[in-house]
Amino acid sequence: MELPATNSRMENVISCFRKRPDAVARLICFPWAGGGSIHYARWGNVLHSSIEVLSVRLPGRESRSREPFHQSLQQVVDEVVAALVPLLKEKPFALFGHSFGAFTSFAVAEALKRVHNLEPVHIFLSGASAPYSETRIKAPKRSDLSDEDFLQWMISIGGTPPELLANPEVLKLFLPALKADLHVVENYRCNKPEHPFLSCPLTCFDGKDDIPHDLQAWKSITSGDFTIRMLDGSHFYLKDSGNEKIILDYVTKQVETSEMDYL
């Protein structure tokens, strides 16, 4: 059940570090497990002025650190959709999500289309198999690991500075959010769509050295153009400055092209 969004609640859930009131489109970014809105903040400074970047901020981190974590993806979707709808009715929008964020992007896009008949001009999904794919269903659960085993897994996928993983105080703040998000996504189940519910283009990004993801399965959600872009690196390949530039240049081009089609 969706709750009505107030301005303060909307700003709590959706952050915008660089407001661009004259932008002709918005890019909504969804964080990876345990992540906040900070990583995407600089994207607002780098992307072309025609695009305003908004980032989802989930409870249990940043300014919402005192709020309890969500227990299901449906809770995430209900909150994010309620906050986004007033903004998305104003101008064209695109979605970008990495890893856990790819799942939330997918689920939010489905709800926006089904409930509000709102559709992005492009959806960018990164570092994740489609939730209904065999690869995802058979993936091992990490959220129930002991802290020691969990840290070893974190080290193996990279992307987190070793000095942070060695700092007990940082881990005390970081691990609960990460495990909570993984618990949400590991317990999320959905069926493969019988028919595509989107018609917009979809692009999948992934790191060449990451564990194999079933990216092809994402094609089932849209009747629009489908593209896969493989970049050098492992799971957090997008933190590399060179890869980030490739992604942002591509996103800018695709969104600007979509804007022309939209108009």
Active site residues: 99, 235
Closest CA to 200 of 125, 101, 103, 100: 125
Taking alpha carbons only, the member of 132, 73, 82 closest to residue 105 is: 73
Q: Check: CB of residue 69 under 8 Å from CB of residue 176.
A: yes
93-98 β-sheet, strand order: 14-15, 51-56, 25-30, 93-98, 122-126, 202-207, 226-231
Q: Running DSSP on this structure, what letter comes out for residue 129?
A: -
Q: Could you give the count of Cα atoms lying within 13 Å of 149 in the half-sphere of its Cβ?
A: 6
